[in-house]
Structure 1
Amino acid sequence: MKTTTKFILVHPSVPKSYAGGWQAPPFNRALILIFVLSFLFFAFTLITTRDAVAAARITANAAAKSKSQLPRSVFDALLQYASVNSTISGRLSSAELKSVASVLRTCATQCNLLVFGITHETLLWDSLNHNGRTVFIGESSYMVSKLEENHPGIEAYDVQFTTKVSELRDLLEHYKSQARNECRPVQNLLFSECRLALNDLPNHIYDVAWDVILIDGPQGYFSGAPGRMAAIFTAGVLARSKKGGSAATHVFVHEIDREAERVCSEEFLCAENLLEKKDSLAHFLVGKMDANGFDFCSNIDSLSSSKLTS
């Protein structure tokens, strides 16, 4: 049986032409229109979202800046309330409170405040240093734990002071013998063997660039009390060994008229750095020092037996 081969010829489809020449079919035009509209919508959404995020960021930054310090009225109210109740024995006087507060107010955004002593003014300092970092060092683990229990947001640590007020002369003699070694003014206190150095604070405390140090503890009004000799020496070293932050540290010493506070302040904070004295509060401004320096004060003969009462 004879077979016949058949050929099938396929012609490419040719778009229909319209009166104005060739045009895309209506269906394709609809797709293109949808694509264009979708792209425009996406672009509009992206732009408006970006602007909204930028506006929100500006608002948040402004809000954060406004909250960096307490409103002046609140700051003054707290200070006024504390001043009215400052007649109780052991508390800072109105003039003393204002002396510390005036320095805290100068901190533009944040202030690093280190306070030796858990006192009546503890909550005041924490409040006035709003948005800054405030750390309290106490001599009683019980008082520190109660403070943290009642006020969980407060940062406080207890330290074991190994000095006694009655040992003042021995401590100063030890300092003189180690002035160019363990008791030098620029050092890492964490590894110091100086008897006046506090080397058992939490490690991170030594790395903070403290703007203000207030010494209102530990107890020092009887011979067996720890005294503030170690706190004053430690403050002097922290200020001179400071890394970062401002060039100088404000150091306040309460009860400056007592012998241990007076002698140690003159030796380790120096009379040349004394800015003012309000009642029983001395205000020093202690600058950084080169690591090769070995004298706390420019007057290297500042320590003399005449400073000690018999």
Structure 2
Amino acid sequence: MKNNNGNTKLILLHPYIQKQGGSNRLWLLAFVSFFTLAFLLTLIYTRESTSTSATSTAAAATIASPGLGGLPTTVINTLLYYASTSNNTFHMSHAELKQISDVLRKCSSPCNFLVFGLTPETLLWKALNHNGRTVFIDENRYYAAYMEEKHPEIDAYDVQYTTKLRELHELVASTKKQIRNECRPVQNLLFSECKLGLNDLPNHVYEVDWDVILVDGPRGEWPDAPGRMSPIFTAGVLARSKKTGVNAKTHVFVHDFYGEVERVCGDEFLCRENLVEASDTLGHYVLERMDANSFQFCRSNTSSKASSSS
């Protein structure tokens, strides 16, 4: 402040004003600290609430979906009912569907399910193995492409069978002669030259440890039809060649079990000692993983003798 003479004078603030400024800073610091603490407490509570909510949701899902496949029991039963009462002549019965469905439900999640044959039950198998891996193999490349185009969720591949049904006994005899070489029970079929082994499937099919395998194809019972010799032999090798894992067992189902091919090849490559349930229409085998140096499909040859004499 200047006086009338133009000289500058020093203005001193009152001590009370200085104290007032310091007090404001203290109040501001307290205010910021309070809101910081409130923010941290809110963040912690929100995280705990989210975690609790997620746990409750998971528990509710588990209660609603007792099957490991993830579908509620009522949904599974409904699917089985409508599938077994369809107008298609070639569909499976309710008893057959339920037998396979029960195994899929008990399967470790996710379940790996390999199916030979595109059938009226194709969409059912995909639905029942909810959240699992389901792969279909069919001899008709056009039908496989059609199914994938119409149902993009379906994973289907075609295979060229080189066998003929009338060559059944000749092929079985040839395979048994090569049991220590190309046709051994534990191997990677991708590199095999065994006549009954399927070696032209996508590479990843041989890398998967399949928990359930269903042989319901190829179609046809005339002499020049492919027959199911190769799928049954391939299923037996894939089951015994599983890598070290949680589940060392593989469930193999063979449909149309009344056929000679299904009975003979089932006895030779899946083995009667592994047959846990059978009817005229469905055979159910449970195979265990085998050592890489094993050169025998069955523990005894009594089943082979029985099948050849029948």
Task: Check whether the contact 1:273–1:285 (CA below 8 A) recurs between aligned residues.
Answer: yes
Query: Which residue, out of 22, 26, 35, partners 1:29?
Result: 26
Question: TM-score by structure 1 length?
Answer: 0.85
* Range with greater deviation from structure 2 (135-144 or 241-250): 241-250
User: Residue in 1 aligned with 2:165?
Assistant: 165
Say if 2:261 is the partner of 1:264.
no
After superposition, what is the alpha-carbon deviation per residue over 1:219-261, rounded to whole angstroms, capped at 9, x for unaligned? 2411111111010001001111112242211111112221111
Task: Check whether the contact 2:264–2:307 (CA below 8 A) recurs between aligned residues.
Answer: no
Give the Cα–Cα distance (whole angstroms) in 2 for the partners of residues 289 and 262 of structure 1. Answer: 22
Q: Which amino acid aligns with 1:105?
A: R
Q: Which amino acid aligns with 2:144?
A: V
Give the Cα–Cα distance (whole angstroms) in 1 for the partners of residues 173 and 279 of structure 2. Answer: 30
Distance 1:207 1:64, change over 3 A: farther
Once the two structures are TM-superposed, the CA of residue 29 in structure 1 deviates from its matched residue by 1.1
User: Residue in 2 aligned with 1:6?
Assistant: none
User: Residue in 1 aligned with 2:214?
Assistant: 214
Query: Which residue, out of 51, 65, 69, partners 1:54?
Result: 51
Query: 4+ runs of 1 displaced by more than 6 Å?
Result: none
User: Residue in 2 aligned with 1:286?
Assistant: 287
* Range with greater deviation from structure 2 (22-31 or 44-53): 22-31
SS in 1 for 2:130: coil
Q: Cα RMSD (Å) of the superposition? A: 2.6
Task: Check whether the contact 2:84–2:97 (CA below 8 A) recurs between aligned residues.
Answer: yes
Task: Check whether the contact 1:263–1:308 (CA below 8 A) recurs between aligned residues.
Answer: no
Give the Cα–Cα distance (whole angstroms) in 1 for the partners of residues 133 and 198 of structure 2. Answer: 20
Give the Cα–Cα distance (whole angstroms) in 1 for the partners of residues 146 and 182 of structure 2. Answer: 35
User: Residue in 1 aligned with 2:234?
Assistant: 234
Alignment of 1:1-310 (within 5 A): 25-62=22-59, 65=62, 66=64, 68-85=69-86, 88-107=88-107, 109-243=109-243, 244-300=245-301, 302-304=303-305, 307=308
SS in 2 for 1:183: coil
Give the Cα–Cα distance (whole angstroms) in 1 for the partners of residues 190 and 128 of structure 2. Answer: 29
Once the two structures are TM-superposed, the CA of residue 72 in structure 1 deviates from its matched residue by 1.1
Give the Cα–Cα distance (whole angstroms) in 1 for the partners of residues 291 and 251 of structure 2. Answer: 18
Structure 1 or 2: larger helix share?
Answer: 2
After superposition, what is the alpha-carbon deviation per residue over 1:268-293, rounded to whole angstroms, capped at 9, x for unaligned? 00000111113311111111111111
Question: TM-score by structure 2 length?
Answer: 0.85
Once the two structures are TM-superposed, the CA of residue 98 in structure 1 deviates from its matched residue by 2.2
* Range with greater deviation from structure 2 (246-255 or 63-72): 63-72
Task: Check whether the contact 1:259–1:308 (CA below 8 A) recurs between aligned residues.
Answer: no
Give the Cα–Cα distance (whole angstroms) in 1 for the partners of residues 280 and 300 of structure 2. Answer: 26
Distance 1:16 1:290, change over 3 A: farther
Give the Cα–Cα distance (whole angstroms) in 2 for the partners of residues 216 and 140 of structure 1. Answer: 14
* Range with greater deviation from structure 2 (228-237 or 186-195): 186-195
Distance 1:272 1:167, change over 3 A: same
Give the Cα–Cα distance (whole angstroms) in 2 for the partners of residues 149 and 42 of structure 1. Answer: 53
Task: Check whether the contact 1:95–1:279 (CA below 8 A) recurs between aligned residues.
Answer: no
Q: Which amino acid aligns with 1:188?
A: N
Give the Cα–Cα distance (whole angstroms) in 1 for the partners of residues 160 and 107 of structure 2. Answer: 31
Task: Check whether the contact 1:215–1:232 (CA below 8 A) recurs between aligned residues.
Answer: yes
Task: Check whether the contact 1:115–1:137 (CA below 8 A) recurs between aligned residues.
Answer: yes
Q: Which amino acid aligns with 2:96?
A: E
Q: Which amino acid aligns with 1:288?
A: R
Task: Check whether the contact 1:99–1:278 (CA below 8 A) recurs between aligned residues.
Answer: no
Q: Which amino acid aligns with 2:101?
A: A
Task: Check whether the contact 1:256–1:282 (CA below 8 A) recurs between aligned residues.
Answer: yes
Distance 1:98 1:50, change over 3 A: closer
Task: Check whether the contact 1:148–1:155 (CA below 8 A) recurs between aligned residues.
Answer: yes
SS in 2 for 1:169: helix
Give the Cα–Cα distance (whole angstroms) in 1 for the partners of residues 21 and 279 of structure 2. Answer: 91
Give the Cα–Cα distance (whole angstroms) in 1 for the partners of residues 220 and 141 of structure 2. Answer: 18
State the percentage of identical aligned residues: 53
Once the two structures are TM-superposed, the CA of residue 306 in structure 1 deviates from its matched residue by 6.3
